[in-house]
Amino acid sequence: MKPHHSDIYNSDHNGYSTHPFILGKAFDKTWFGIFINNAAAQDWYIKNNKTSGDVDVKVLSTGGIGDMYFFTGSNPNNVTKAYHKIIGYPVVTPQWALGWHQSQWGLENTNAIKKVADGYFEHNLPLETLWADIDYMKDYKDFTVDQDTFGDLGQYLSDLKKSNHIKFIPIVDAGIAQRQESIDNYTTYTEGVKQDVFIKSGASNWYKYSVRQFTGQVWAGDAAFVDFTAINATGFWMDQLTDLDTNLTYSVDGVWLNSNEATNMQCNGVCYSDQKAESPVQWKLPYIPTG
């Protein structure tokens, strides 16, 4: 689970990137697991009764189709194995990912990254991987490289890997820039529109406007978000990652997916009134999550 707040364990804050799975020990000393596979927003209330030893679990969902799975076993490992047969097995972490990684926002050019790495070498400190924040992008556009400030980054990384075996991970944001110059000239956005992979506006009169894609706002300003339930979305995303390798002239060792969901930082819901649905689903929910 990746916490959204530092005090995630308080009941009044949300978490995201979670699997709703409970693992527990029964009174007969066997173990059980419960997995509710539902993508809709949910609240889970777990209450321990110190006197009786009972654990009360209440789940509320705003909707969706919920597949419930129940697992039993003689020990927690057996239950967990059965759970992974449903959701799939985790990828084995590469050994280099367990080493020391360096990430810093505000490194304005390749020389700044080089200076950071040289500091490690000069003081004989371990370093396994360098990460690059949004600084390397051209105008904060995903899969681009600012050739004015990071045009030599790929060559530097190739030399660094040969001499010191240092890996490299660039950031990629979930939001795809949607400013006017992006609509006209930004290949990732124009190709996404062509392939119809973006989340759409809920407005019924979208045909009156030039942009049907839902507009949020992130680092890049106005942004669209890929709908990964679209059948061709994965192929589209992989093509963009290939383009990033090409633009960087370096095959990246991993990707830092920043906010791996549609995170609309600047707006409370829609950013533009003409994209607002006539009857927002938010007001049709049987209850408002967390409240």
pLDDT at 146: 97
Kindly state the average pLDDT of the residues 89-109: 92
When pLDDT is cut at 50, 70 and 90, the band that residue 258 belongs to is confident
| CATH C-level class of 95-283 | alpha beta
pLDDT at 283: 73
CA–CA distance from 45 to each of 7, 15, 58, 110, 142 (Å)? 16, 13, 5, 49, 38
Kindly state the average pLDDT of the residues 102-119: 97
CATH 3.20.20.80 in the chain is located at: 95-283
How many residues does the structure list for the chain? 291
Positive or negative: CA dihedral 35, 36, 42, 48? negative
Q: Is the pLDDT of residue 134 over 90?
A: yes
Q: Which of 208, 131, 202, 207 is nearest to 166 (CA)?
A: 131
Report which of residues 92 and 24 the model is more confident about: 24
Say if residue 80 is exposed, middle or buried (CB neighbours under 10 Å; 0-12, 13-18, 19+): middle
Q: Is the pLDDT of residue 271 over 90?
A: no
Q: Which residue has the tokens 């994965």?
A: 234
Read off the pLDDT of residues 47-57 as tens digits, 9 standing for 90 and up: 988 888 888 88
Q: Is the pLDDT of residue 14 over 60?
A: no
When pLDDT is cut at 50, 70 and 90, the band that residue 168 belongs to is very high
Read off the pLDDT of residues 230-249 as tens digits, 9 standing for 90 and up: 999 999 999 999 999 999 99
Kindly state the average pLDDT of the residues 67-91: 93
Q: Which of 281, 284, 261 is nearest to 270 (CA)?
A: 281
Kindly state the average pLDDT of the residues 243-259: 94
Residues 6+ apart with CB under 8 A from 28: none
Positive or negative: CA dihedral 57, 37, 255, 220? negative
Beta bridge partners of 37: 67
Query: With a threshold of 0.95, does the pTM exceed it?
Result: no
